[in-house]
Amino acid sequence: IPRMASGMQEKQYAPSLLSFFIYNPKFGPREGEEEKKILFYHPIEIEKNEKIRNVGLCEAIVQFTRTFCPTKPAKSLHTQKNRQFFHEPEENYWMVMVVRNPMVEKPNKDGKPPTVEYQEEEIIDSVYGSVLKQCYSMYKLFNGTFSRAFEAGGVELLTQKLEKFFYRYLQTLHLQSCDLLDVFGGISFFPLDKMTYLKIQSFVNRVEESLSLVKYTAFLYNDQLIWSGLEQDDMQILYKYLTTSLFPRHTEPELAGRDSPLRPEVAGNLLHYGRFLTGPANLKDPEAKFRFPKIFVNTEDSYEELHLIVYKVRENVKDMMGMDDFTTLKLSTVQVLLTASV
């Protein structure tokens, strides 16, 4: 979407996603089988030969740069109009993201076509390279690794998983607002005094001891992390999902008026202390549907497949945990995450 500048004379265009694709060169090594390499391609309406040509160009760039440093192939390719980013998250699996550079459209006199100036320096490799890596991390959180899907059901299962996830996920990318925060994937922590922190830790320990199915627990307040039993890499990507997708999605119905059409979705799920954002829709109804997203953690080691349960507290937390000095945590601000074994 263009943004006017300089008295409505110039049009400024933010960076945008031109294409995004995933391929494996081992799946189509012979001439005439090039299409088999392509596991996912966005946008889908691109003609087949153009997809093959774009993937072949990326292969050539990667192979060419390997001649200079075999262990560190190309990470990005700069052109006047766009920037391409490459990422190999698993052996022979390549992800490519093509971003159109920001540009300014300046009108000309005498009815001539406007002059377009591309602002290549506005695109920072480290920022958008991190966005591409986050795409993989988010996929892996909910689907596991590419290779595990291929082992379980071949190329067909892998492409199904990629299509189902990325067609939705790519719509959530806001490339125009990416910044250095995307590079670090930081977590916002809530500062606490020692005694209150120990009380929360005690509460978490009691939960895990009394519920043997609970493998890991995380405790948040106002979207800020207080406690987590997950490894840092797993918590970072899970935190991003929670704060940018799950929590905002449930805030709107919660704030809606009593007569709002959004409200009925929440009503059956509200209990005295709070409600489940993922989990049982209604604990009092044995026939109620359960919504437990699967997540995959520790994929480098034990490869754990778990269910994600998120509970949002509504009442004052001190009533639940005896925190007489912790009266500030009130009304729908505390989120407790439980990951249970499958």
- Residue-level pLDDT at 274: 75
The dihedrals phi and psi of 108, each to the nearest 5 degrees, come to -115, 160
Treating both helix axes as pointing N-terminal to C-terminal, what angle do 125-143 and 146-169 enclose, rounded to 10 degrees? 110
- Tens of pLDDT, residue by residue over 223-269, are 899 999 999 999 999 999 988 888 887 765 444 444 444 444 444 44
Which residue type does 112 have? Answer: K
Treating both helix axes as pointing N-terminal to C-terminal, what angle do 125-143 and 232-241 enclose, rounded to 10 degrees? 90
Contact 334, 219 (CB under 8 A): yes
As a whole number, the mean pLDDT across the chain is: 81
pTM value? 0.82
Comparison of pLDDT for 319 and 20, the residue scoring more = 20
Task: Tell me the C-alpha distance between 51 and 175, whole Å.
Answer: 22
Query: Does residue 18 carry a pLDDT above 90?
Result: yes
Task: Tell me the C-alpha distance between 243 and 252, whole Å.
Answer: 14
- Residue-level pLDDT at 177: 80
- Tens of pLDDT, residue by residue over 269-296, are 444 567 788 877 777 777 767 778 889 9
- Tens of pLDDT, residue by residue over 48-106, are 999 999 999 998 998 898 888 878 888 989 999 999 999 999 999 999 999 999 888 88
Comparison of pLDDT for 327 and 66, the residue scoring more = 66
Query: How many other CB atoms sit within 10 Å of the CB of residue 272?
Result: 7
Query: Does residue 7 carry a pLDDT above 50?
Result: no
- Tens of pLDDT, residue by residue over 140-194, are 999 999 999 999 999 999 999 999 999 999 988 888 887 777 777 788 899 989 9
Task: Tell me the C-alpha distance between 204 and 90, whole Å.
Answer: 35
Task: Tell me the C-alpha distance between 262 and 269, whole Å.
Answer: 13
Task: Tell me the C-alpha distance between 22 and 58, whole Å.
Answer: 11
- Going by pLDDT thresholds of 50, 70 and 90, the confidence category of residue 117 is confident
- Residue-level pLDDT at 66: 83
